[in-house]
Amino acid sequence: MDDLVWKSLAELARLVASKQVSPVEVVTAHLERIDALDPKLRAFITVMRESALEAARAAEARVLSGEPLPPLHGVPIALKDLYNTKDAPTTAGSKILAGSKPAEDATVVSRLRAAGGIILGKLNMHEFAYGPEGLNAHYGTAWNPWDARSHRIAGGSSSGSGVAVAAGLCPGALGSDTGGSIRIPASLCGISGLKPTYGRVSRAGVLPLAWSLDHVGPMARSAADCALLLQPMAGHDAKDPTTATVPVADYAGALSGEINGVRVGLLRPFFLEAAGLVLRQAIEQAVRDLVKLGARVDEASLSHAEHAHAASFAVIASEALAYHEVWLKRRPGDYQADVRERLKGGAFVSGAQYLRGQRARRLIRDEVDRTLERFDVLIAPTTPIVATSVGQAEVTIEHETVDVRSALTRFTRHFNLSGHPVCSVPCGFTTAGLPIGMQIVGRAFDEATVLRVADAYQRATDWHTRRPPVGAPPAAAPAPPAPAAPAVPAVPATPATPTTPTNAG
């Protein structure tokens, strides 16, 4: 049964359809692992045990009936707790919405259920999605499973989604991304996460942080599984007027494993240059891996990148305050302290500053579009640091002390402003065993190419197949010391775990 929790979404769907395993067995295996590990990991706010088992029994009956099966039939998934579900509370990780029961499912939840997905439960998150660390004072802060001994952040705001997928509590999950909240936990938890193009996926029934920057998307252990989840989610929805009518590609069909001739732009200024040494080495090795697969790599730059922080703050702070203004006046004490203070900061953003932020956003989007006329995808680190300890406010990157919160969003918020699709995939580990993420940026509504490059990279490497130590069997007694090995080059010639121990990467 334990082996089932490490199967891919695609493999689970195949096993169910071929009657080699029952949907009840699959759901039960994941519920048992949640029972065993989640008291420590705190990935879930609500486990929907009874409804998940009921759905699994119905899925089993449909398999036995011989009816045609949808693509995700009998496969368990979990939802960040800002997706409305008619059969469970939607809290947004808050005290304010504790026990709140929506009248209907969010559009994407309905679509995933129609595709055969079984909802295991609602996942932990930074309260109201307003923080990149993944902290939660009400339900407990999720525990990054890559460090079994010390409590490290999982990244936010989709912290529970990152932890649950990485630790084998569910094979796939949904997150949301306003400044990096899918990609940051994907990077820090060693999984794959896709922020689709703005307008590709409906946000109807998804609680907002900032309506003009919010994206929703899938998180899984591989890009191939992200493609499988995205397929039923994507497409126009009359309930969300921001969704586009652009045709939806066959995402799984695009995963050919072939990227010969694909033009890759390596974002060095502002992005790679600002990452910790080990992260830079990992990205440079990943680029060499792509070259071996036939990609053509050249350097690229985005001159407006330095303006993304101010523009993102002006837009998010204003729009978040507009949504929370009444609650903030009536129930300020019910917010966790960091979120309350960030919301208050929105009151100091003037209308002129908000408009300047939106104008900067247009400049940023146009520049990314122009750059992608020369390239098929762009490559950059997802974050400049790896997972820090919970409560740690600052981190050192190459002898410079920086704020953890600002560092986490430094490379991600640019593409929320531009709206382009981005997939974060694991591309290495530090000597402390902490994951490193790489983001792959594509043209608007060209998720297919982004996923094709990510999938080809994952076929050639094994970073995404590693399992974290939380929940692993006890290690065997240590072997006698081996003779000292020769020094490893600063940039390895073949895929290898980077060797410089630094908290910044």
Q: Would you please indicate which residues are annotated as catalytic (active-site) residues?
A: 80, 157, 181
Residues in CB range of 339: below 8 A, 6 or more apart = 126, 127, 128, 130, 131
Q: For residue 353, give every residue at least 6 positions away whose Cβ sits within 8 Å of its Cβ, in sequence order, or none.
A: 314
Distance CA 423, CA 82 (A): 21
Strands 296-300 and 377-381: unpaired
Alpha helices in 190-244 (DSSP H): 223-233
Q: Is 24 exposed, middle or buried (0-12, 13-18, 19+ CB in 10 A)?
A: middle
Contact 57, 35 (CB under 8 A): no
Whether residue 173 contacts residue 78, with contact meaning beta carbons closer than 8 Å, is answered with yes
Among candidate residues 325, 128, 310, 304, the one with its CA nearest the CA of residue 209: 128
Nearest to 379 by CA among 418, 455, 437, 429: 437
Other beta carbons less than 10 A from residue 471's beta carbon: 18
Residue with tokens 């891996």: 289
Burial class (CB in 10 A: 0-12, 13-18, 19+), 437: buried
Beta strands per DSSP E along 284-393: 296-300, 377-381
